[in-house]
Amino acid sequence: MIKLIVGLGNPGRQYEETRHNAGFLFLDSLADEHGFGWSSNSQFQGDVANLAFEGGKIVLLKPMTFMNRSGLSVGKVLRYYKLKPEEMLVVHDELELSEGCVKLKRDGGHAGHNGLRDIIAHIDSRDFYRLRVGIGRPVSGGVADYVLSRPSSTGLGLFNEVFRLMRDNFGKLVAADMGAINEGLVR
């Protein structure tokens, strides 16, 4: 069962609705639905919230270290709560999936994603769950400019649709039910 959900993104108003902030956007959608707020925690170098779910507690984390240093924050939270990497779900943007697609996976490399690369380096493990939120590849221009830009209104609508679907099936997500998420819920 998932006990920590990390949403990856970059702090600051200029990044708020960018593709690279898919993880932050998902966690913010959970906060909106469940009516909780975020607490800034300097010890963890991130914004933290606790979500009561099915008699237990799920820690939610938005690292405020910028994407490329996400592992600092994640490592501190895992150690503090004495959690294993396999009890963690990292929500991040994914270039290899088209907008509106989502895929849950466990283990694997970072596929060039600097946030995942830093987490793997800091916790010395690849054995954690990832919710890959599709953003597609740029038609023209560089990847950095693309991921740090805002999606179209259609793209934002697809994010919101995927996030609603994940919230509606949150029990399956927390149970890391890859079959249900990947086969029954992915568009």
Q: Is 52 left (phi over 0), alpha (psi -120 to 50) or beta?
A: beta
Which residues are CB-neighbours of 142 under 8 A, at least 6 positions away?
none
Q: Residue 127 and residue 97: Cα distance in Å, rounded?
A: 21
Q: Residue 160 and residue 119: Cα distance in Å, rounded?
A: 26
- Whether 92 sits among the annotated catalytic residues: the reply is no
Report whether 178 contacts 47 (CB < 8 A): no
Catalytic residue among 20, 34, 92, 110: 20
Closest CA to 112 of 136, 133, 100, 95: 95
Which residues are CB-neighbours of 11 under 8 A, at least 6 positions away?
64, 66
**Active centre residues (catalytic):** 20
